[in-house]
Chain A
């Protein structure tokens, strides 16, 4: 079974802190994604990566950065956390291919609260 793990299920940080959210997948997937999930807004794509050391902005990249130094690990960084970044963060991975056939596999999510 594909497994996507996230470093924390729950996290509480203070405004202005630097926050790292880690995601690891064990299926040798090239693609990795970070979303945030908010009530009434569904899932919104923050950043994604098609390969090691490469990254692409999603729909809402402001206030976030990412790092992909190894194929299996994709980190989301909040440089200076703000209260409007309180949310559920979901990581996902998938095979590449450009066919659209491949589903994404999700981690359990990290619920981040910024106070």
Chain B
């Protein structure tokens, strides 16, 4: 079945460092790919998404490119801030009658001032 694997955390970086959180997926079809973020004490919110191969999603300085050849959707940010400290979830939704989303286990990110 479909699945998402993302790097385990926690990831600890200093402010202004470059961030990469790796995500790879397995899917039978042509999924849409998402990154969600969960700030402390809150629910998940969509950070960015890409619906087809080679699409780049971007938001709040974060970017991820849908790479079909490597089945990856790595999250990157050039210069992180303390306010980026959160848990990040990679996810996919495959096409078909089922509207379910499959989530990775999440990566906790700590940014030190």
Contacts of A97 in B (CB 8 A): 99
B59 to chain A, nearest CB (A): 12
A101 and B101 alpha carbons, distance in the complex (Å): 10
Contacts of B31 in A (CB 8 A): 100
Considering the complex, which residues of chain B in the window 5-54 have a beta carbon less than 8 Å from any beta carbon of chain A?
31-32, 34, 36, 41-46, 49, 51
Considering the complex, which residues of chain A in the window 71-100 have a beta carbon less than 8 Å from any beta carbon of chain B?
90, 92, 94, 96-100
Chain A contact residues, majority secondary structure: loop
The number of chain B residues with a CB under 8 A from chain A is 27
Choose among A50, A98, A104, A109 the residue that contacts B101 (Cβ–Cβ < 8 A).
A104
The number of chain A residues with a CB under 8 A from chain B is 28
B26 to chain A, nearest CB (A): 15
Q: Is A48 among interface residues, defined by CB-CB distance under 8 A?
A: yes
Chain B contact residues, majority secondary structure: loop
A102 and B101 alpha carbons, distance in the complex (Å): 10
Pull 18 A–B residue pairs with CB atoms less than 8 Å apart, ordered by A: A31-B99, A43-B89, A43-B103, A50-B99, A58-B100, A90-B43, A90-B44, A97-B99, A98-B95, A98-B97, A100-B51, A105-B46, A106-B36, A106-B44, A107-B43, A108-B41, A108-B42, A109-B42
8 smallest A-B Cβ distances: which pairs? A42-B105, A106-B43, A100-B93, A100-B32, A106-B44, A100-B95, A43-B103, A103-B46
